[in-house]
Structure formats: C-alpha cells, structure tokens
Chain A
C-alpha cells in the first residue's frame, strides 16, 4: 500500500477583505476574504511552515523533498534546499524544485505517490494580479505538504487507488517570468478544452482505481479556470464536491489542491474515497481511500483552525507588500546582504533554529556558542538544542519606529522558551497594540529581507496558534 502518511496545510495569518478593493479603486474585489502572505513570507517560508506541520504528525523521515510553486523565490538556485535546511533533513535527502507551472503541485504529489521511498512533497504559492483584476481578488496564498510513502515507511492514512492524466497544448493562462499578472484567453475557449479532458481522465482514473463515480465520497476539484471548474463539477457525478475555500482563502494555485485535500482529510472518516481533480493545462486525477490509520491521526494545526484565525490587512498595506505601490522607506541604510559562507557555517542555527545547551549547566545558548556563559560548562561541552518547535512567552517588548523595515514599525520582544532559554527576537503576524507581557509565542521561518538579490531567511516569533508548540 502506498499513499499519504501525513500532511499539513498552511494558511497565512493575514486576510484581505475583498470589499476593500472596490472601496479604494471603485471596482474589483467581491465578497469574502482572501489569504495574504505577509511581507516577510514567500513560497519557500510558507512551504517550510506546511512541511513542519506535516512532519510533526509522523515519525517518518523523508528520503526526498520535492517543492512545487509557480512563484519561486529564486530561479537558478533550488528553493527546496532552504526548506530542507529548515526541516533539518539529512544531507543524503535529495531536494528538488518542480518549477513554474500551477500543474507542478499536483504533478509532484502524483509522481511521489507513484514513486518509491518516503517523499515529502511541498506545494506553495502566492497568487495575485494587477489591482482590481479577478486574480487579485480571487487568488489566495498558502502551502500544503504531504509525506508520501509505503506501509513500511509509516502508517498510511490515505491509500492511492488510481491516477490518470490528460494533456493537451492550449494557451489559456500564461505569465512571463517576473510579470506581476497573468494573461487569460477568452474564458469560453478554455472551458471547451477542459471539459472533454476532464471526462477522459476521470473515466480512466476511476477505472484504474476500480471504483465508480458513485463510490467517491468527496471530490477535491480545483483549477484556475472558474467556468471550467464549474462545468466539470457538474459532470463528475460524485456525492459531494469539497468546499474549495474560495470564500475565506481564495485560490492558492499550485498549493490549492493540496490545501483543500488537507482540509478534507482533516474532516474525513476511515474508509472514504476521495478524488482529487485538478484542471491545469490538462487534467490530473488522483483517487485515494482513507485507511483505519486516519482515526488515530492527529493534525498539529488544522486548515480549518488557520482559516478561522486570521486578521485583516488593509488594501493599502496589501498593495505595498505586493510591491504594487512603493512607499517611502525610513531614512536609514538598507541592510547588507548576508554572507553566503557565514550563512553556510551557521546553517543549523540560521535555517534550523538549533542553539546549543551547556552539558553541565543546561543553559541554552541562542545562537549556539562554543564557550558557555556558565563557568561549569567546559569548552565545547555543548549539545545541539533544536528550538523551532518549542513554545515561548514574551518577557518584555518594544516597538521600534526608527529601524529599517519593509513594513514598519518593527515589533520586538524578549522571549523566554519553555524549559529555559531566552532570545530577543522580532515578532511577526502581530499588531503592535496587541502585544502583552506573558503572551505565548512560537517560532516561524521568515524572509527577513532581500539584499542584492540574496534573500535573508531566519526565524521570527509569532503569537502562538492553538496546539502548535510543545508546552
């Protein structure tokens, strides 16, 4: 049996109220909200957050990491390696990017399900378009990760029953590298392509799985082409098409099938048949069946909880974060690029958030040190101390309105970790007025800034989400 061993969806904290768009621009927008990656997030950092959730629900160590996004932080350089480092995977674990196309998300998942060895598939996307456009309002940002493997890798919670693919070359949606918006052909045309392709793949997938449409309990149906999705929804003949999260999150592109699937799995019972149908330059279909192991499966933090716990971001701030409008930066020097060699030496600290702990004193050192601040520890008598999943509490804090930031002001806190240890650290996903002493926080992998084209990744603290840290 091969299938999904664990999974995690990530929905960023911020929401744009779609009505805010028309309030400013006079048109555009719509009803509900969309999720918004913060200024310090990109597809890589969101991928890390989803993957951390997935790995914490499993004992299995992946042997490969595949990362798919249509909005890569880097070209040329592999983005999966930063995720690999943040997850502290062994150097023998390969890390590959599946790049560029929305279809690569479901493609990576399908390929992993049909390949060998435990594989962590991470899908992530930041969706947008020009102000007032449909993509701006209806897109969403998010990530989903799946640890895929066989019985001998760990308990499989959803077994793969069958797959199918249908491919045809037609130019329906397209975007040049670096372009802020996606072009779209007249919608009626794409609908005529997707309908027959979906019918063909659906029939083949059901056949390969040995089930009928009436046996499918729920279908995860996603695609960027709204009319086509609607049409295919009517032709599948299944009991239920899953909520596509459009009202609160929006369409997260490359990550979307995964995010909706994670949400479905979190609410599913053992023995249910789940179909995944993705319309993207053709059609991909996966047929899964949940196993008895699902009953014992405990997500660290559910998609539904994350959807329910967001906070609004103003349309002006959204436009600034997306670099649709440029604002005057503080009259302070911009930060300098991190040194690649220094960063490589500090990889466990910078990417993995691993400190050191005095063997004798137990005193935590962040960053890791060779010499302890306690005299009882001998030189180099230090043990690695992974702290990314340890909760902390705010001891004191301040708001810095002078320092350079992409999105001032900087909220900064001194936090004490559960079990000992302290770090002065920047807070994120927080309103300056809402911080208080004693507040629970957790660590999150973020993009601090970019300088000379090099992205500086490190950790910040954010207000704790329920159940997400080890107390």
Chain B
C-alpha cells in the first residue's frame, strides 16, 4: 500500500492553450475546439489518433458529451472530471494513468471554463441540494483569514504583511504583462493595490485571481513512445493528489498559516520524483495563487523556504522571474486569469514552454543549473481543500 508514482513512464507530447479572457464572442465549444486544435497541432496528431479523453470542467458542462459533441469524436471515450479548482490537473492525472496502464496509447486531457456567461461577477457554483447550514462566505474572505493569523504567529506587522502579499500580485502582474495569453497585461504596483478598498478582510480585488474564460489541453503518451511524436517531450516525474478531511474547519489546532493538504501532496510528489531539496532541484514552480496570501503560504507548504520566512523571501525577490526560485512566470491565476477547469492545464502549459526553452526571449527563465518544474493546483478553502502537485522534466532519469 503506497503511492508509487509513475516517474518517467508518461510524457507530454503536445499542448495548447487559448488566451484567457472575457471571451464574450466564444462559447464552451469554441474554447474546447481552439485548445484541442492547438494541442493536436503541437503534437502532430489528428483527433482520431487520440484514443481517450479526459475533460475537466467545474461547471461549464456535464458528461463527456461536452467535448465529444463539439469535436465530433466518433467511438471515443470521454470522461468528464471535476475536482474544484484543481479540475484541470485532475484531468491530466487521469489521462497519464490511462496511458501508463497500457489501456490506451494516446490520451488527451483538456480543461475548460466559461465563467463569463453567468451574468454575475466572480466565481459562482450552484450548490447541490443542502440543509441550509453551510457557511455563507466567499473564498476571498476565507483566504483573508490567513493574513492576521500569519502576522500573529510569526510576529509580522500586519501592514507590512499586507504590502508583502501586494508584492506577490505586483510580481504576477509583471509576469503577466509579458505574456500574450494572459488576461491582465498591465503592471500593477503593490503600493496602488494597498490603497484599494478592501473587499474581504484586508484583501482588495487585486489580491484575487482574474476571472476569465479559457481552455488548455495536453496530449500524453507512454514515455517509450514519446520520440515517435516529438523530439523534446516533457516527462511526468510525479503526480500527487490529496483530498482533505475538512478537519481544519473544526480543529482548534488549525491556525490558518498553512495548508496541510498542500504540504502532504508536495511531500508525496517529491518522494515520487526522488527530490530531497526542492529549492535546489526545481527551476520553476507554477502554484495556485488564487489569492495573494495563498501564494505566500504555499512557498512554505511546498518547502521552498522555512515556515515563517516566505514573507521575507517575497520581499527579497526570490520568486521573481529572474529570482532564485521563479514562481508563476506566466502571471499565475492573478494575471493569467482563472477559468477553473482550465487553470491546472494552463500551469502545465507554462512548464511545457519554459522547460523546453520556448517561452520567448523576454520571458524565458534560466535553465543552466536546474531543469525541473513543479505545478501546484488546489481547490477549496483553508481547512478544507484538495491539492494537486506534479513535477515535470525534459529528461529521463
């Protein structure tokens, strides 16, 4: 009984990603067609060459028909998956296991979300029938609880900490500004973010991820077959997933300064990949910066720095694109936008570009000493969340 992982058994041979936008002129079908077409072209395959599909969407459609109908897939299995905001990564995880098992040779994972047809601001999921006792609180408010808790635990001044997390938004906007696919392409100084009105706790709207429509897709094969399709595949080193007990909500020992589900998923992924020291092994990380405090805490959960030190590392510029540990080089959820079901695959798309030296001159990170990337994708709230971590690399071994 163990989480063995499938290190170096599966490779990504092609990916596609639409711009993340308020796509008033594109529906779910259009976004799926655009992302899948880009992925087919990237891998050099036709849709009929793909044996099975995993479609991730949180609430833009039900069942495999959401994909098989617009793509007119004939005789193919399509599985719709949903795992909160980690839905896109979950689709990839299932597709990887499908080819690793030998059940299929070629599989596609595709994520999509059409948020902007709801007529409301923000993300709004329709709840299942309920007893009426669930808490009524936005995700922003739940994550806003991190700031005072972290400030108290580590003796950081609350005003200073507020500036720290604004610096995270500033960094991600700076990265997004260079990225043609990102939703927000304007830099945003931290000082301006701090001056904005609070919407939840001390968080302003610019501490929250962008709300966008979009789709992203990956095509995976067994590693042994990868070179039949491309010269520079990206190998899966680790895939980990942890679904929490929800105990953090009712456990007085939980203090809102860490996300244990993320730490567990990270530890499992490092073990699968054979990584002892993530900071020296990883060239970059794409993490789930749904709100600015989330990214700060994740730096500690994922072992990029010691507990209680992430705020200093943020100020030191460690996680900048040209820093020692680049994080969210594509702009993250903050600036790239967050179409729920697509985001996990978008994170892998950035690794696909960066690790293969295709991010473009102005965005490309340094790969001279390290060449592994980590993707972290979560869903839920402090105290009750699901967390995904993968590790990718351009070489076997």
B124 within 8 A of A: yes
**Other-chain residue from B126, B141, B149, B250 in contact with A421 (beta carbon distance below 8 A):** B250
Chain B 283-304 per-residue mask, 1 if CB under 8 angstroms from chain A, else 0: 0000000000000000000000
Binds B, one of A83-91, A279-287, A309-317, A359-367: A359-367
B276 within 8 A of A: no
Given A345-B131, A456-B132; A400-B140 close (CB under 8 Å): yes
Q: Inside 8 A of B126's CB, which chain A residues have their CB?
A: 333, 336
| CB–CB B200/A332 < 8 A | no
| CB–CB B127/A401 < 8 A | no
A377 within 8 A of B: no
Cα of A424 to Cα of B145 in the assembled complex, Å: 11
B356 to chain A, nearest CB (A): 39
**Other-chain residue from A338, A365, A398 in contact with B145 (beta carbon distance below 8 A):** A398
B252 within 8 A of A: yes
| CB–CB B131/A400 < 8 A | no
B16 within 8 A of A: no
**Other-chain residue from A333, A338, A349, A401 in contact with B120 (beta carbon distance below 8 A):** A333
**Other-chain residue from B118, B120, B121, B201 in contact with A399 (beta carbon distance below 8 A):** B201
Cα of A395 to Cα of B255 in the assembled complex, Å: 9
| CB–CB B200/A401 < 8 A | yes
**Other-chain residue from B121, B149, B256 in contact with A331 (beta carbon distance below 8 A):** B121
B210 within 8 A of A: no
Binds B, one of A207-215, A244-252, A409-417: A409-417
A339 within 8 A of B: yes
Most buried by A among B124, B133, B144, B247: B133
Cα of A336 to Cα of B142 in the assembled complex, Å: 21
Within 8 A of B (CB), among A33-57: none
B131 to chain A, nearest CB (A): 4
| CB–CB A422/B136 < 8 A | no
B202 to chain A, nearest CB (A): 9
Within 8 A of A (CB), among B222-249: 245, 247, 249
| CB–CB A373/B120 < 8 A | no
Q: Inside 8 A of B383's CB, which chain A residues have their CB?
A: 424
Cα of A426 to Cα of B132 in the assembled complex, Å: 13
**Other-chain residue from A338, A365, A398, A416 in contact with B144 (beta carbon distance below 8 A):** A398
A300 within 8 A of B: no
Given A331-B121, A343-B131, A396-B149; A373-B137 close (CB under 8 Å): no
Please classify the interface of chain B as helix (H, G, I), strand (E, B), loop, or mixed, using the class held by over half of its residues: loop
| CB–CB A367/B136 < 8 A | no
A397 to chain B, nearest CB (A): 8
Given A399-B201, A400-B200, A402-B122; A364-B250 close (CB under 8 Å): yes
Specify the chain B residue showing the minimal Cβ separation from A456: B132
Cα of A422 to Cα of B124 in the assembled complex, Å: 27
Within 8 A of B (CB), among A365-419: 365-367, 373, 395-405, 410, 412, 414, 416
| CB–CB A400/B249 < 8 A | no
Within 8 A of A (CB), among B108-145: 118, 120-122, 124, 126-127, 129-133, 135-138, 140-142, 144-145
Q: Inside 8 A of A424's CB, which chain B residues have their CB?
A: 135, 137, 142, 249, 383
Given A421-B252, A422-B251; A335-B136 close (CB under 8 Å): yes
Given A373-B251, A396-B149, A401-B198; A338-B141 close (CB under 8 Å): no
B199 within 8 A of A: yes
A415 to chain B, nearest CB (A): 10
B148 within 8 A of A: yes
Within 8 A of B (CB), among A329-357: 331-333, 335-339, 342-343, 345-346, 349-350
Q: Inside 8 A of A338's CB, which chain B residues have their CB?
A: 130-132
A365 to chain B, nearest CB (A): 6
Q: Inside 8 A of A373's CB, which chain B residues have their CB?
A: 245, 247, 250-251
A228 to chain B, nearest CB (A): 44
A130 within 8 A of B: no
Q: How many residues of A are counted as interface, with CB atoms below 8 angstroms from the partner's CB atoms?
A: 47
Most buried by B among A343, A366, A396, A437: A396
B246 to chain A, nearest CB (A): 8
Specify the chain B residue showing the minimal Cβ separation from A347: B131
Cα of A396 to Cα of B135 in the assembled complex, Å: 16
Most buried by B among A336, A345, A363, A424: A424
A425 within 8 A of B: yes
B82 to chain A, nearest CB (A): 19
| CB–CB A410/B141 < 8 A | yes
Given A335-B136, A458-B132; A423-B122 close (CB under 8 Å): no
| CB–CB B133/A350 < 8 A | yes
Most buried by B among A332, A339, A403, A405: A403
Given A342-B130, A342-B131; A416-B252 close (CB under 8 Å): yes
| CB–CB A366/B137 < 8 A | no
A19 within 8 A of B: no
A467 within 8 A of B: no
A378 to chain B, nearest CB (A): 16
A82 within 8 A of B: no
Within 8 A of B (CB), among A190-232: none
| CB–CB A339/B129 < 8 A | yes
Q: Inside 8 A of B120's CB, which chain A residues have their CB?
A: 331-333
Specify the chain B residue showing the minimal Cβ separation from A355: B250
Cα of A86 to Cα of B102 in the assembled complex, Å: 57
Specify the chain A residue showing the minimal Cβ separation from B246: A373
Cα of A332 to Cα of B139 in the assembled complex, Å: 13
Given A373-B251, A410-B141, A426-B136; A396-B256 close (CB under 8 Å): yes
| CB–CB B133/A405 < 8 A | no
Q: Inside 8 A of B252's CB, which chain A residues have their CB?
A: 395, 416, 420-422
**Other-chain residue from B122, B132, B199, B256 in contact with A401 (beta carbon distance below 8 A):** B199
Q: Inside 8 A of A410's CB, which chain B residues have their CB?
A: 136-137, 141
Residues of B bordering A, CB below 8 Å: 118, 120-122, 124, 126-127, 129-133, 135-138, 140-142, 144-145, 148-149, 152, 198-201, 245, 247, 249-252, 254, 256, 383
- Please list the 4 inter-chain residue pairs (A to B) with the smallest Cβ-Cβ separation, ordered nearest first: A338-B132, A400-B141, A373-B247, A339-B129
Identify 20 new A-B residue pairs, CB closer than 8 A, beyond the known A336-B127, A373-B245, A396-B149. Answer: A332-B122, A332-B124, A342-B131, A345-B131, A349-B131, A365-B250, A373-B250, A398-B200, A398-B201, A399-B200, A400-B137, A401-B200, A410-B136, A414-B256, A420-B252, A422-B252, A424-B383, A426-B137, A456-B132, A457-B132
Q: List 28 A-B contacts (CB under 8 A).
A: A332-B122, A333-B118, A335-B136, A336-B130, A338-B130, A339-B129, A339-B130, A342-B130, A350-B132, A350-B133, A366-B250, A373-B251, A396-B148, A396-B149, A397-B145, A399-B200, A400-B138, A400-B199, A401-B200, A403-B136, A403-B141, A412-B141, A416-B252, A421-B252, A422-B249, A422-B250, A424-B249, A424-B383
